[in-house]
Structure 1
Amino acid sequence: MVNNTHSQLMAGIGRSEIGTLLPGKLHDPLYARVLMLSSGATRIAIIAMDAVAIGGICDLSDDFLPRLRERMQAQLGIPARNILVNASHTHTAGPMLRAEDAVLEQTFKAAAQAANQLTPVVFGAGSGSEERIVFNRTLRLNNGRAWTIRHTNPSPPDDDVASLGPVDPEIGVFRFDRLDGRPLAVLFNYACHPLIGVPDGRVTAGFPGFACRTIEDILGQGVQAMFLQGAGGDIIEMLNKDFTGPRSSEPVGVTLALSTIRAWRQIKPGPTDVNVAAATVRFPRRQDIPERVAELRQEQQELLNSLRYTTMNLKSFIPAYLASRLDPEHPSADTYRYLREKDLSLNGLTELDRVNRRNLDKYIANVRAMEKLARIQDRIATYFRHLHINEQSGETSIEAEILGLRIGDAALISCPAEALTEIGLSVKKQSPLAKTYMAAYSNGYMHYGAPAKDYPAGGYEVTECFLAPEWEQIYLDTAQKILVSLSRQDNT
């Protein structure tokens, strides 16, 4: 299961542009970046792609990964199972990439460049931290349910929100230096959806691209920065849903880059080598989608039944609502008019306020119900999409590959799904290697991978998921076996 050698670590870097060639569509370059490592008889390739996913959705099909691996094995001598391909998961309005054959050609070109430029290196790993730029988008509600912050549906009412989910602020930093001390490559791992994009809406590599560019600009000397997406399935940028001004992911990327460089400066590289371990498992496909849809239909009907008549429309609601917020005690007129009415033993304004408050409450209740109805409609459509995916497969399970790479005292463990934060934290907690980092969105794409305990609460990531809850334990058990196996190898 494990290949282990002890000799001089060699590394090579390469990159090629893979972004769309449509005129005016591209804001900044999208790359396939490659780090090739060789230690004795062991050769591995780490490929970081500015793409939504490695197959499954959007620009790359499920054939892309096996075709790339087959060619790299045949022409570069890299065993297919020793190739880790990670998607940054940046997504803006597409198409984002060139035609798939062109992307494959460009990615292979970068791999060949890296393979042909191997140079002796020293290596070190460490961790930084950055928690100012992200939050867990799946809110925990007072009723025990979950509500995910997305642009396709409104946020929940403030008084419904109980708490936030966890984030993992750790930045895994891998430092590769030439023997003369010049930096060759900086590989950094962090968990967050790249969603904000750029103000003009064009295709962008998002914060991972801006972070890589910033690191390369600061360190110079031909260094290549590479971002590996972590367990960011439920993590998004802090200002993702900001409506007060143009949103840009560049400040997010710059902030992440500076925190990465702070950690990089503390790392003392030295001699080491590499190990590889992998396993193939089968994750069960969920069978409960019809039941979940039936539950949503029932909730939908209850919300429809809750809708009540109201005399107000949007045009009359807005000024009445604003007045009630500006002066809750005297919304209909200046204070002196209320005082004068009181002197005259009249109550016209007071009665008007009472009626308006009742109508405002009814209107707001209807709006909240309609917001929930819109969200339910979106969830039902999503469930049916995944029901179709599972039915089309003709199987009750899906094959998944989990790859572990150990470089010195640090390990990368892959996951082919959009793993949620708690999955990544669980892997780190149970790993015998203190420096363990998850490369989710890697070597395939199986949509979201949520903890089993999250399924009853709902939320977008559980809805946008064709895996059964049992997938989690299968993944965690397999990842631990791989990491234990790697930990028993002597990398000193």
Structure 2
Amino acid sequence: MFQRLQFAIVWMISGGCMLQGLQGMAADDPGLIRAGAHAQEITPPRFPISVNGGMADHFATAAHDPLYARCIAIRNAKTSIAIVVCDSCMIPREAMDRAKSLASTKTGIPTSRILISATHAHSCPTSAAVFQSDPDREYVEFLIEQIAMGVERAHNQAEPARIGWGSVEQPSLLFNRRWFVQSDTNPIEMMENPFGMKSDRIITNPGFNNPKVASSINQIDPELSFLSIQARDGRPIALLANYSLHYIGGVPGDLVSADYFGEFCQRVTRQLKAGDVTPPFVAALSNGTSGDVNNVDFRLKNAPQRQPFEQIAYAAELLAQDIAKAYPQIEYQATPPLKIREEEIVVGIRKPNAAELAAAEEKLAANTVRPLQGLPLIYARETTLLAAYPDSVSIKLQAIRIGSLGIVTCPCETFTETGLAIKKSSPLKQTFTISLANGYNGYLPPPEQHLLGGYETWRARSSYLAPDAEPKIQTTIKRLLNEVSR
């Protein structure tokens, strides 16, 4: 009896010492991950408010669903990173830089290690001046403060965590919206752009049963990527997903909504049974490389008849179910490598020449009715505004490594082929691109897409970078990925 008791005491003491030692080793490990997340509401505090995403401005009078800045903070002993996904169509760099500076002051995270992106939902308040929508200055100030507050709360909630990642494919929601002009009936005919030139071989969003088009470019990226963060005991903390679908729409004009991005967050939370945890679980869906991809199948003869929010709910549920099926197979790590690199590069701006500017000013002088009606007048105004732009612009690019996962950023509406090229060349096992991040610089067509024309290439504040901007951006991103992979 005495011997058994003596053995038990020795076992408990030695076992306790061993456990203490393991805990001490874990606490001292510089690679130990801590993470926290917080969804900070950014629904407008007052209405009516301007909503952009179209050629003409319109005003919402209420919110259908709340808008959020979904914030995730990850750190180890050497590196701190914050990732923010905002329910917004686009946010200008100036506002993002101010939010980063304020968040950095509150948390100590360097601004170069903060990533802020917009989902590109077309039913959110105007934060950037595009076409005939101008930002509500009070809302932009509110947005800046809320983003910084969200980062601070996510950072302060950081706890010992483990991280895993993965992806599934969901191609059924994706359709390339750029269609080649019909060539077998009249091989010389091209489409006229808003500047009066018959030079376009592409029609964007051609409509249903359009005899003028032959076939879609038909390039999509079906990968639904995700990063999962849990507490050490398996309690879910956050999930960051990425999907290359522009937006869905169908939201009545008098309402603001987070579109399918926000609906996905609600539904994946339910699918993962993470609605009752404390602190609250945070899901975020970032916009991938979807500058030329939407949810409309123009191969159909007629447009499907759907109720408002019906397709949003369908797409969100489908993606949430895909995540839920893959979730149990995620392998987690407590000490994955954590690295980030940021670099600024200068790219050229496409500006009108003197003749183009004079023609635009003449058109506007002869048409004093506002808002402007018709693409030629709308793009004439864009021409006059771009004339005041500088000859070049500096943009921020980032590459993040979390274990064998790479996350890169681009401040543009990035095309699918760019995202696929980055994934193919990445030295990391899995990689995805968050677009509309750290600023807004319009569409980013590759040079060959510029030659084809189409809406995404028409010179405006929504598409103003020089044709060689895409190769410069892609080259820099690939180099940054190589740097963080080492």
Give the alignment's TM-score, normalised by structure 2: 0.75
Is residue 174–residue 188 contact of structure 1 (8 Å, CA) maintained in 2? yes
For 1:404 and 1:418, the matched residues in 2 are separated by 17
* Deviation (angstroms), 1:279: 1.0
1:254-308 CA-partner distances (Å, limit 9, x unpaired) = 11211222233321111213101111101111247789999x9xxxxxxxxxxxx
Is residue 92–residue 201 contact of structure 1 (8 Å, CA) maintained in 2? no
1:77-102 CA-partner distances (Å, limit 9, x unpaired) = 01001010010011127559871222
User: Which residue does the alignment assign to 1:160?
Assistant: 213
User: Which residue does the alignment assign to 1:484?
Assistant: 482
Correspondences of 1:377-416 after superposition (within 5 Å): 379-381=375-377, 383-393=379-389, 395-416=390-411
For 1:156 and 1:388, the matched residues in 2 are separated by 36
Is residue 352–residue 386 contact of structure 2 (8 Å, CA) maintained in 1? no
Letter in 2 for 1:37: I
* Deviation (angstroms), 1:384: 3.5
Structure 2: state its 5+ residue gaps: 1-28, 48-60, 128-135, 184-189, 191-200, 361-372
For 2:343 and 2:153, the matched residues in 1 are separated by 29
Correspondences of 1:88-167 after superposition (within 5 Å): 88-92=119-123, 94=125, 99-143=139-183, 145-149=201-205, 157-158=210-211, 160-167=213-220
Correspondences of 1:349-368 after superposition (within 5 Å): none
User: Which residue does the alignment assign to 1:336?
Assistant: none
Cα 1:69–1:255 shift into 2, 3 Å = same
Letter in 2 for 1:284: G
User: Which residue does the alignment assign to 2:19?
Assistant: none
User: Which residue does the alignment assign to 1:44?
Assistant: 81
User: Which residue does the alignment assign to 1:472?
Assistant: 470
User: Which residue does the alignment assign to 1:439?
Assistant: 434
Is residue 31–residue 49 contact of structure 1 (8 Å, CA) maintained in 2? yes
Correspondences of 1:8-407 after superposition (within 5 Å): 8-22=32-46, 25-55=62-92, 62-92=93-123, 94=125, 99-143=139-183, 145-149=201-205, 157-158=210-211, 160-198=213-251, 202-219=255-272, 220=274, 221=277, 222-238=280-296, 242=303, 244-248=305-309, 249-271=312-334, 272-287=336-351, 379-381=375-377, 383-393=379-389, 395-407=390-402
Is residue 196–residue 237 contact of structure 1 (8 Å, CA) maintained in 2? no
User: Which residue does the alignment assign to 2:195?
Assistant: none
1:317-342 CA-partner distances (Å, limit 9, x unpaired) = xxxxxxxxxxxxxxxxxxxxxxxxxx
Structure 1: state its 5+ residue gaps: 56-61, 297-376
For 1:428 and 1:273, the matched residues in 2 are separated by 19
For 1:454 and 1:288, the matched residues in 2 are separated by 20
Report the more deviating stretch, 93-102 or 213-222: 93-102
Secondary structure of the corresponding residue to residue 167 of structure 1: coil
1:332-388 CA-partner distances (Å, limit 9, x unpaired) = xxxxxxxxxxxxxxxxxxxxxxxxxxxxxxxxxxxxxxxxxxxxx955445444433
* Deviation (angstroms), 1:428: 1.1
For 2:445 and 2:296, the matched residues in 1 are separated by 21
For 1:283 and 1:387, the matched residues in 2 are separated by 19
Q: State the number of aligned residues.
A: 394
Letter in 2 for 1:433: L
Letter in 2 for 1:139: W
Give the alignment's TM-score, normalised by structure 1: 0.74
For 2:384 and 2:253, the matched residues in 1 are separated by 35
For 2:166 and 2:120, the matched residues in 1 are separated by 24
Is residue 87–residue 124 contact of structure 2 (8 Å, CA) maintained in 1? no
By percentage of residues, which structure has more helix?
1
Report the more deviating stretch, 113-122 or 163-172: 163-172
* Deviation (angstroms), 1:247: 3.9
Cα 1:379–1:264 shift into 2, 3 Å = farther
CA RMSD of aligned residues (A): 2.7
Is residue 89–residue 125 contact of structure 2 (8 Å, CA) maintained in 1? no
Secondary structure of the corresponding residue to residue 255 of structure 2: coil
For 1:290 and 1:167, the matched residues in 2 are separated by 39
Secondary structure of the corresponding residue to residue 73 of structure 2: strand
Cα 1:166–1:247 shift into 2, 3 Å = farther
Q: What is the aligned-residue identity percentage?
A: 28
